[in-house]
């Protein structure tokens, strides 16, 4: 048997013998001819087989052709097969202008005839059978886009002399809020699943690494069922030394996203248009910047009063300010800056002129927060006092506070949710659609 060729490479081949493998998408079993649409990881191709319904002893190979005809008639949707046959270019074939005339067919694994999900199945049902759901071209494209996006981010980091780190996901104490920690047994004691790589990104600054990044899992024990929350998610993090303010972090964030969006548009723009019905735009720099207090005033003038009393935006407020930015600046992104210290972690640096504010930001994309960034506090005495204000015990943070007792440059960084970016990029309604295997308060399988 000749070497397998993936479907996307067939068009460049000349007519002749070829072997393809994939799963059965459709079968049209007509009296005189059979058509099978075979799909693999790269695309779909039409297989054609002149049907033989009975053995003709005067025709050589008649028995083999009958066996092939019967095998095709019995094929269930989703069965994996390998076919060797003759590749033929024919512009009359709607599916790519090529087809393969079947010579031999091997059923690698037969599928159950009744599939558990359909095109109109609920999202929860589709997630129960995620491996089948992911066979759909639209769903599979999401993860090719994710691959391209992550590769572009990593290329930007490498080109700009960042160091990649892999931080531990088991911690002895909280990095932010103890209320959102998953506690696990750890030999004779307790450990916690990391909410973010925050502490260890900062340790790298004390180590003199200068610029670091990580793409890895993070965990939040948040019993939320919204379309944008998960208990386990992929966090995209970066931290840099020698900054003057959070403005340096925002500039890094812009450059990184432009690199990622450019790569996705260049490689997948046509497919995104075809399967998602959207024209992906690469954001222009600089992204708009609006202090939070001003953003809240703008939202109020648009007729929406933010009900929260904790100085933060709520989801509707985020949608309203995003709409304003789109109308005013024609931009899908906006940095909301100068958040109150009362709602920011203890390690965010306070504003030098107004201690009630922090040198921090949230990045809003298409009306949803995707990231938080900030300049970090690097003075250990200030860190101790701010931790106490947040109800944290400095004794439990000694390992972290030690990072700042032996010299550390001014630094800052951000953490960004990968699934939220993909969800908003593709105009999907839930991160469940763009997460390979979603984890939430009521989902631990598959």
Q: Which of 245, 169, 177 is nearest to 214 (CA)?
A: 169
Q: Is 420 annotated as a binding residue?
A: yes
Contacts of 62 (CB under 8 A, 6+ apart): 52, 55, 56
Q: Is 126 annotated as a binding residue?
A: no
Q: Is 147 annotated as a binding residue?
A: no
Measured CA to CA, the distance from residue 325 to residue 334 in angstroms comes to 7
H or E segment to which residue 383 belongs: helix 380-389
H or E segment to which residue 170 belongs: strand 170-171
Q: Is 337 annotated as a binding residue?
A: no
CB atoms within 10 A of CB 270: 9
Q: Is 214 annotated as a binding residue?
A: no
81 bridge partner residues? 22, 107
> What SS3 class is residue 82?
strand
Q: Which of 384, 400, 404, 403 is nearest to 392 (CA)?
A: 384
Torsion, Cα 278 279 282 285, to 10 degrees, reads -90
C-alpha separations of 102 from 200, 334, 390 in Å: 57, 55, 70
Q: Which of 285, 343, 290 is nearest to 317 (CA)?
A: 290
Q: Is 357 annotated as a binding residue?
A: no
138 class by beta-carbon count within 10 Å (0-12 exposed, 13-18 middle, 19+ buried): middle
Q: Is 372 annotated as a binding residue?
A: yes
Q: Which two tokens stand for residue 168?
A: 């531990």
Q: Which two tokens stand for residue 211?
A: 């610029």
Measured CA to CA, the distance from residue 150 to residue 417 in angstroms comes to 12
Return the residue matching tokens 């087989």. 49
Contact 78, 86 (CB under 8 A): no
Q: Is 419 annotated as a binding residue?
A: yes
Please enumerate, by residue number, every residue annotated as part of a binding site.
176, 220, 369, 372, 376, 417-420
**Which residue numbers belong to the known binding site for ATP?**
369, 417-420
Provide the annotated binding site for L-aspartate.
Answer: 176, 220, 372, 376
């Amino acid at each position: 048997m000749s070497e397998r060729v993936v479907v996307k490479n067939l068009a460049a081949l000349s007519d002749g013998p070829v072997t393809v493998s994939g799963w059965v998408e459709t079968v049209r079993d007509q009296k005189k001819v059979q058509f099978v649409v075979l799909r693999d990881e790269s695309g779909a191709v039409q297989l054609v087989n002149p049907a033989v319904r009975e053995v003709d002893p005067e025709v050589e190979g008649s028995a083999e052709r009958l066996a092939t005809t019967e095998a095709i008639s019995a094929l269930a949707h989703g069965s994996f097969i390998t076919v060797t046959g003759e590749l033929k270019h024919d512009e009359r074939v709607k599916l790519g202008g090529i087809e393969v005339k079947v010579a031999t067919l091997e059923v690698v694994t037969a599928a159950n005839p009744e599939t558990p999900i359909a095109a109109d199945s609920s999202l929860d049902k589709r997630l129960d059978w995620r491996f089948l759901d992911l066979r759909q071209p639209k769903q599979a494209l999401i993860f090719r886009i994710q691959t391209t996006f992550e590769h572009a981010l990593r290329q930007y980091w490498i080109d700009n002399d960042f160091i990649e780190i892999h931080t531990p996901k088991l911690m002895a104490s909280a990095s932010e809020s103890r209320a959102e920690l998953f506690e696990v047994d750890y030999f004779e004691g307790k450990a916690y699943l990391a909410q973010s790589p925050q502490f260890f990104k900062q340790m790298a600054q004390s180590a003199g690494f200068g610029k670091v990044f990580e793409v890895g899992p993070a965990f939040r024990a948040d019993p939320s069922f919204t379309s944008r929350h998960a208990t386990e998610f992929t966090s995209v993090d970066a931290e840099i030394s020698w900054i003057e303010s959070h403005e340096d972090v925002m500039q890094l964030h812009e450059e990184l996203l432009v690199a990622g969006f450019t790569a996705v548009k260049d490689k997948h723009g046509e497919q995104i248009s075809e399967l998602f019905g959207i024209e992906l735009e690469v954001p222009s720099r600089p992204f708009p910047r609006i202090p939070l207090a001003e953003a809240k005033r703008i939202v109020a003038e648009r007729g929406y009063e933010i009900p929260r009393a904790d100085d933060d935006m709520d989801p509707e407020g985020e949608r309203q300010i995003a709409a304003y930015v789109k109308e005013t600046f024609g931009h899908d992104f906006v940095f909301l800056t100068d958040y109150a210290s009362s709602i920011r972690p203890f390690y965010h640096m306070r504003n030098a002129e107004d201690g009630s504010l922090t040198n921090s930001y949230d990045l809003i994309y298409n009306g949803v927060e995707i990231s938080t960034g900030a300049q970090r506090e690097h003075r250990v005495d200030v860190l101790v006092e701010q931790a106490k204000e947040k109800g944290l015990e400095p004794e439990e943070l000694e390992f972290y506070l030690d990072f700042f007792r032996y010299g550390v440059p001014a630094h800052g960084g951000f953490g960004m949710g990968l699934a939220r970016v993909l969800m908003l990029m593709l105009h999907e309604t839930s991160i469940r659609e763009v997460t390979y295997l979603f984890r939430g308060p009521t989902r631990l399988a598959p």
